[in-house]
Amino acid sequence: MNKSIIQLTKKHVAGTYGRYPIALVKGKGSKVWDKSGKQYIDFVSGLAVDNLGHCHPAVVSAIKKQAGTLIHVSNLYHIEPQSQLAEKLTSLSFADKIFFCNSGTEANESAIKLARRYFFDQGQSGRTEIITMHNSFHGRTMGALSATAQTKFHTGFKPLLPGFKYIPFNDLPAARKAITKKTCAILVEPLQGEGGVNIPDPSYLKELKKLCQEHGILLIFDEVQTGFGRTGKLFAYELYKIKPDIMTLAKALGGGVAIGAMAGTNRVMKSFVPGTHAATFGGNPLVTRAAMAVIDTIEQQNLSERAALLGNRIRQGLSERLSPLKTVKEIRGLGLMIGGMVETRLAMGFAAHFAAGLGGFDWIDLDTPLLLAEDPVAGGYTADGPHYSLATTSAGHGGSINPTA
């Protein structure tokens, strides 16, 4: 049954994804099922989207109710759940206003446009350059791709959008040196995700903020992956006790439906006036109602705090249980945004604990749901050299590595 879906995909869907030979058809909480009925524990979480797990009752109920009332209407009109979501997001963050779109990439494109437009409105049209970090990831459309300082994503798509300067992450002298009279903003992930779960020094972002203030430029935080509880705070910037000028959001905001947002202070958001930017589906009634349910659930169940506690427990458990493996170099992360460095050609992808090694990988990235079992590590597997055996009666997770792979 999986095979027929896979064949349909190969025949009719653009081949832009390297897909596993699994056709998932159902999800509930942290579990998913394929077409044949086989059950999996989902440690991919829709690439950091499903913070509440799959088909959370509050989100499902909100979608059903709104779908029977009003699904879409143009932003030429006022939209009640959109306004309510904007009010909620501003009450929980530094921001004064929100622009809604459909993805993290779109949110970052919006931030790039806003930063340039802001200085244009200040009579400084020459300030268009944005500084971004090596190993960053901001999206795949041309503007966001140009901001992404990873050459592997650029191959075949040049010339890129001009006006971006790349510097090392967590390197304040490099940032200071890179700023010129053309600089309008620094765009940074407060914790790099796709680039390797790279955590900055405690003082780095604070000093970066001071540097921006000294030079009168904007600080933009890409919180597309870190937002909504994953790091142990609702937003990662709270961990560093600083406030950016602009913040981009998406992924977990919608609980599985497509929504993005750019949040900013009144000072910068005043540059977005009618005609400067738009998104046809941005902030439509269906997705904003779903997003309200997501945020309410995170608040009511204290899931940010839960992520901090479980993250500490998982990192400790992984470190203890993986320490016998000389190939494991490091386990690091904040909250439930966790990664591990391995020194081997065998990839250890976390679908349960490890997926079989495919070769060529050196990084593990867990995008776990926030509603994880209380002790997901304990008793999940036993290790015998390169062989890992799953326990079938415990809450843990594991995998099997074929040493000849």
Catalytic residue (one of 100, 137, 169, 228): 137
Six-digit token pair at 119? 């200085």
Q: Residue 112 has what DSSP assignment?
A: H
Q: What share of the chain is helix, strand, coil (3-state, %, to 5)?
A: 35, 20, 45
Higher pLDDT, 357 or 273: 273
Catalytic residue (one of 34, 42, 50, 222): 222
Higher pLDDT, 387 or 309: 309
Residues 6+ apart with CB under 8 A from 233: 239, 304, 308, 335
Residue 347: the pLDDT is 36
Helix and strand numbers (H, E) in the chain are 11, 15
Residue 193: the pLDDT is 92
169 catalytic? Reply is no
221 catalytic? Reply is no
- Choice among 166-175, 221-230, 255-264, 374-383 with the minimum mean pLDDT: 374-383
First to last CA, the chain: 27
pLDDT at position 141 over 60: yes
Residues 46-78: tens digit of each pLDDT:
999 999 999 999 999 999 999 999 999 999 999
Q: State the average pLDDT over residues 127-146.
A: 98
What distance in Å separates the CA atoms of residue 27 and residue 369, rounded to the nearest whole number?
A: 12
pLDDT at position 377 over 90: no
Residues 185-217: tens digit of each pLDDT:
999 999 999 898 999 999 999 999 999 999 999
Residue 368: the pLDDT is 59
Residues 213-249: tens digit of each pLDDT:
999 999 999 999 999 999 999 999 999 999 999 999 9
Residue 328: the pLDDT is 78
137 catalytic? Reply is yes
Residue 272: the pLDDT is 98
Residue 354: the pLDDT is 40
Cβ neighbours of 405 (radius 10 Å): 12
Please tell me the CATH code under which domain 58-300 is placed.
Answer: 3.40.640.10
Global confidence as pTM: 0.86
Domain with CATH 3.40.640.10 in the chain: 58-300
Q: State the average pLDDT over residues 100-117.
A: 98
**136 phi and psi angles, rounded to 5 deg:** -75, 165
Residues 320-354: tens digit of each pLDDT:
888 777 777 788 999 999 886 655 433 333 433 44
Whether 205 contacts 240, CB under 8 Å: yes
Residue 374: the pLDDT is 52
Residue 352: the pLDDT is 36
Catalytic residue (one of 50, 251, 350, 365): 251
Six-digit token pair at 102? 């459909």
